[in-house]
Structure formats: C-alpha cells, structure tokens
C-alpha cells in the first residue's frame, strides 16, 4: 500500500529527495505523499526510504490506498 505522512511531520524535508519516484512534496502543514506515485519503494529499495530517513517516523503505510 502507499505510504502517507502523518501529523508528526516537522516539514524538515529530509524525505523528499530520498523518494525514488518523486512522490513526496511540501504541503501546507506537513509534507505529502502522492498515493498514485508511491510504489512503496518496490524495485528500488528493500524498505520505504521515506520511513527510513524520517527522524520522527511520520511516513506510515496508508490502508486507504492498498496495493493496486
Ligand atoms: S515509500 Fe518509497 S516510493 Fe513511497 S513515498 Fe516513500 S520513498 Fe517514495
Ligand atoms: S523526513 Fe519526516 S519530518 Fe521530515 S519532511 Fe519527511 S515526513 Fe516530514
């Protein structure tokens, strides 16, 4: 399933450049992941890079956007 960024995000921006498919962008309050672009890093990395680099654990799996 796609990842989403929860309200713990401090908008540090660290995850944006780590996403292999440019799914992450700056939002109004927190950074946002485009669920249509997020591939859970499949085919790129063994784990979700946004979750790996985030200092506050804000990127989490989003059950409302299950795997296509
Ligand atoms: S899980 Fe991977 S593809 Fe999805 S937003 Fe995070 S870094 Fe990008
Ligand atoms: S790395 Fe974490 S805190 Fe920083 S912008 Fe991304 S989701 Fe937000």
In which domain, by residue range, is 52 found?
1-63
Is 9 within a domain? yes
Q: How far is 68 from 60, CA to CA, in rounded Å?
A: 17
Residue among 56, 57, 61, 62 whose CB has most ligand 2 atoms within 8 A, to mutate: 56
CA of 63 to the centre of ligand 1 (A): 15
Residue 39 forms part of a structural domain: yes
Write down the pTM of the prediction.
0.95
Q: How many domains does the chain have?
A: 1
- Tell me how far CA of residue 48 lies from CA of 28, 52, in angstroms: 23, 6
User: CB under 6 Å to ligand 1: residues?
Assistant: 3, 18-21, 23-24, 33, 38-41, 48-50, 59
Domain contains 25 = yes
CATH, residue 53: 3.30.70.20
Task: Decide if 35 is inside a domain.
Answer: yes
Residues 6+ apart with CB under 8 A from 13: 26, 31
How confident is the prediction along the chain (68 residues), in pLDDT tens digits per residue? 999 999 999 999 999 999 999 999 999 999 999 999 999 999 999 999 999 999 999 999 999 998 65
- In-domain check, residue 6: yes
For residue 68, tell me if it sits in a domain.
no
Is 61 in contact with 51 (CB distance < 8 Å)?
no
């Amino acid at each position: 399933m796609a990842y989403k960024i929860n309200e713990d995000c401090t908008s540090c921006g660290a995850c944006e450049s780590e996403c292999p498919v440019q799914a992450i962008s700056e939002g109004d309050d927190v950074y946002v992941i485009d669920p249509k672009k997020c591939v859970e890093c499949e085919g790129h990395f063994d784990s979700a890079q946004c979750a790996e680099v985030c200092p506050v654990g804000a990127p989490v799996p989003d059950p409302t956007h299950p795997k296509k």
